[in-house]
Structure 1
Amino acid sequence: MIISLFGNDIREAEKDPMLEKPNNVIVVITTNGMATDVVEKIISNIKGYELGLEIFVIKEHRDTFSYSCREITVPKDYVCPNGSRNKMRAMQYGNEWLRTEGYGRETYICHLDDDSMVDKPYLEYVINHMAVEGGQGCIRLREFGRHLFSSLSDIVRIANCEAWCRHYNKGNRPQFVHGEGIVVRADVEQEIGWDYGTYGAEDLIMGLEISKKYTFCHIPAGNIYIAPPTTAKDFYKQRRRWFWSIFKNDGKVRRLSLRTYLFYIYMYLVGVTGLIGLIMLSTYILMDIHITPMILLVTILNIAGFTSYYQFGALYNGSRKYSLILFLFQIPVAFYDGFTILYSLVTRPNFQTFETIKKV
């Protein structure tokens, strides 16, 4: 947190030399066809930047909507060699399609989910400055407040990006790689592919694969904008999918980076123990049970650290209003967020499908 607070992305971006020949950049949006209006809004916004970029939508054969950009339609009978399904299957087909169309080393692909957006400076940096094989910037929230607790809980994603993504990506050691806004040079993506045959974690696996042989960097200009889930049910489903994607990937994450795998375990343990600590503290206070000075000190430090981390994320999202709301609801948000881990352990998802949530 301290390192990020004293960092300056604008100065870092200005230090990077301008390329003699700008990169060819394309934007690829992968959708399941359940958020056509949101996808159209994303396309319209990117066209409004007037950067002259090609935009592609990878869609399933059953999606009959006509998007206002080039479409890559995944055939019904398309099968990945490693048995990948759902989003990975679609992305792998799109990867192969782009290769047959001649997109290679001169092209960078900016990947977006069908509810995420990147701003103009983000794309301009990739066009004019990016010289390594892959990278990713930091996220911000858009459409804040559709569901208050989900929005407040998602502020931790901003904190994670600023504290961890930024720090580790700068050293070619990707730790938190998310599907929104990941940028990969086309020839490298074609070499690695998206056909991992796992339940999820395709974005993290791609980042780790790139860092093994090439370089994965932090993109210091612009931001990626995401929309929090609109219901508690969707929030818990989304978090459950993320939880199990780390542990249901046939050991790929662990083999690529044991440090990253252990780090995720550590983060989840911190979430569980922090939640248990809050429950114990509440119980002790209500039952008037004596707390030793050491336990009280640890509890205070835990709550202070937890609160600071969320406020750190709220600061970067740029809203004092939501920072204050989050401060007032910090303890309920802690329970709301913390119980996702217990929910994930108690109610396993169907690993043969890809749970989707409503997009806005």
Structure 2
Amino acid sequence: MIDHVLLLYAIIILSYTPLGLYQMFLVARSVILLRGLEEKQYPKLDVKNKLVVAITTNGNATDVVEKIIATTMGYGLDLRMYVIKEESDTFRYSCQEIVVPKDYQCAHGSRNKMRALQYGIEWMGGNGLGKETYICHLDDDSMVSKEYLEYVIDSMTEEGGQGSIRLREFGRSLFSSLADIVRISNCEAWCKHFNIWDRPKFVHGEGLVVRADVEKEIGWDFGTYGAEDLMMGLEISRRYRFGLMPQGNIWIAPPTSVRDFFKQRRRWFWSIFRNEGKVRGLSLKVYLMYVYLYIAGVTGIIGFLILPYTIIFAPALTPHLAPFWIINTACFYIYYQYGASYHGSLRVSALLLFLQLPVAFYEGLTIIYSLVTRPDFNTFETIKKV
């Protein structure tokens, strides 16, 4: 029995080591080569780009959407703002509205957010938005900084791009907020490294910038449960260029409850594995990367559960395995703390350091939750927005 448990633990340790070391490479590259991108001076275009900021909402967070509109318009930039909303949403927003008709249908049967996005780009294309205009997409809980939008207007030449995430409204759900810090790590490590080389791996709906004619050409009518943002990024990269937004940031709010956190992660999980093979068809490497990351999450939970057992029988661990355990532990803690360093609070960094194991377990449990409680694939699960 002891031998079998220790063998399992050895497999778990060795399976994480490649990921841990690779993430340390990405962190080191970001720190050494990519820090300071925001302060760099970028060439100004002879003719500035036109810019539209589009917020897609289902009408359940009208106060938050109004806050986003006020903040964005308060930057004083030359841009237009649209809210893409359903016909059932009777709230009057303080910017131009694109109302999705109740009877509107997509050719490939897309529903919910994808349906709204598809109607939105058709409407904008029909109203003259083309090659000279970029669209910055926001969810109804996300904001982007003034510098982010200034870069799009003054300097952007790639057909698509995305920048880095930061957290706002931190702490409404402590564990959810601490777990979301790893999203900062992912953006600063993975996104910066790969976006700068036109090879997107993580693409999120918040702050995604696409040139209007390219967005209309590709369309949002993927007809899947989700992953539309990832597929859009991969399609742009396959046909044109997908770059890094080097200035400014995207501000998101972590889920406000445990239930919402688990629902959100479940939607992300099934978006990758229930898209009729479209992500796999666009990039097998990206698909396998997500498979590996989710496997690492599951094995991490197992390792956490059998950790007390292995501690009791620690002498049975071979000297050859101990260095890998030390390396994995160091990589694990450094990666989380790397994201926390961008949050800019020593208190949060210390809190995360103290709670990092249970936070990782909390996040890993969402995979188990996703497997045993499948969502309704005909609807788009939403969470409370703040």
TMscore range, shorter length: over 0.9
Distance 1:280 1:289 in 2: 15
Q: Report if aligned partners of 2:38, 2:248 keep a CA contact under 8 Å in 1.
A: no
Q: Report if aligned partners of 1:140, 1:224 keep a CA contact under 8 Å in 2.
A: yes
Equivalent in the alignment of 1:221: 247
Equivalent in the alignment of 1:155: 181
- Within a 5 Å distance, the mapping from 1:285-324 to structure 2 comes to 285=311, 290-324=316-350
Larger deviation, residues 262-271 vs 87-96? 262-271
Larger deviation, residues 124-133 vs 269-278? 269-278
1:341 to 348, 363, 367: 367
Distance 1:87 1:236 in 2: 20
Distance 1:224 1:140 in 2: 6
Say if 2:376 is the partner of 1:350.
yes
Q: Measure how far apart 1:334 and its partner are.
A: 1.5
Q: 1:9 to 1:215 in 2, by over 3 A?
A: farther
Distance 1:327 1:160 in 2: 18
Equivalent in the alignment of 2:275: 249
Say if 2:58 is the partner of 1:32.
yes
Normalised by the length of structure 1, the TM-score is: 0.97
- Within a 5 Å distance, the mapping from 1:1-360 to structure 2 comes to 1-8=27-34, 10-11=36-37, 14-285=40-311, 290-360=316-386
Cα deviations across residues 255-308 of structure 1 (Å, max 9, x unaligned)?
111111111111111212222222222233357774333344333322221111
Distance 1:218 1:333 in 2: 29
For structure 1, the 5+ residue unaligned runs are none
Q: Report if aligned partners of 2:51, 2:78 keep a CA contact under 8 Å in 1.
A: no
Q: Measure how far apart 1:9 and its partner are.
A: 5.2
Q: Report if aligned partners of 1:120, 1:222 keep a CA contact under 8 Å in 2.
A: yes
What SS does the corresponding residue of 1:109 show, helix, strand or coil? strand
Q: Measure how far apart 1:167 and its partner are.
A: 0.5
CA RMSD, 1 decimal: 1.4
Distance 1:35 1:140 in 2: 20
For structure 2, the 5+ residue unaligned runs are 1-26
Distance 1:78 1:136 in 2: 29
Identity of aligned residues (%): 64
Cα deviations across residues 10-40 of structure 1 (Å, max 9, x unaligned)?
4476353110011000100000000000000
Distance 2:112 2:35 in 1: 35
Q: Measure how far apart 1:345 and its partner are.
A: 1.0
Distance 1:81 1:2 in 2: 45
What SS does the corresponding residue of 1:56 show, helix, strand or coil? strand
